Amino acid sequence: MQTGNYGDVLLRVLDELCSELGAAEREEIPGARSSLGEEGVMAGILSSEDELAVRSLRQGLARIAAALGDRATSPATLAVQAALDGAELVMRGELVNGNGSWLPRLLPSFVFLVALPIVEQDRALALSQRCTELIQRELGEAR
């Protein structure tokens, strides 16, 4: 990402969380595709690098949701979709405002919001805390 180059770090964190949850390898996941970017309502606002990062982060969040439950039959599907859309909008908003450095602080909240419709609150909170630990480890190694 142009603002702080956090995209790769955050993608590694989401990949690690997905691995810990036993998520499938980067296959097509329902909810992973957005209608907000490329040709959607927010097309052309972000740089191509930031656009790719936002799409990849959304896909990582969708993989976490898919690993937590069978979303195809879950009544939580709409809630998960709303959480993914909300996370994407916040990411885009922060990048547009030049606040890409805030994304590492926001990602654990996104993980919590995506997990909450699927699992109990304690499990969603534990995943969020694990995300924080992984981010701190990654950023500590990057310095």
> pLDDT per position in the chain (143 positions), as tens?
444 468 889 999 999 999 999 876 656 666 666 666 555 556 668 888 898 899 899 999 999 998 898 545 555 688 899 999 999 999 999 999 999 999 999 999 999 999 999 999 999 999 999 999 999 999 886 54
Helix axes 103-115, 48-68, angle to 10 degrees: 30
pLDDT of res. 2? 45
Three-state DSSP class for residue 127: helix
pLDDT of res. 127? 97
Residue 89 parent element (H or E): helix 77-96
pTM listed for this prediction: 0.85
Kindly state whether residue 2 falls inside one of the protein's structural domains. Answer: no
pLDDT of res. 47? 86
pLDDT of res. 78? 86
Dihedral angle computed from the Cα positions of residues 94, 134, 131 and 82, in that order, rounded to the nearest 10 degrees: 40
pLDDT of res. 1? 41
pLDDT of res. 11? 92
Task: Calculate the CA 100 to chain-centre distance.
Answer: 14
Task: Calculate the CA 40 to chain-centre distance.
Answer: 19
Cβ-based neighbour number of residue 28 at 10 Å: 9
Distance CA 62, CA 64 (A): 5
Give the number of domains in the chain.
1
Full residue range of the structural domain in which residue 30 is found = 7-142
Kindly state whether residue 104 falls inside one of the protein's structural domains. Answer: yes
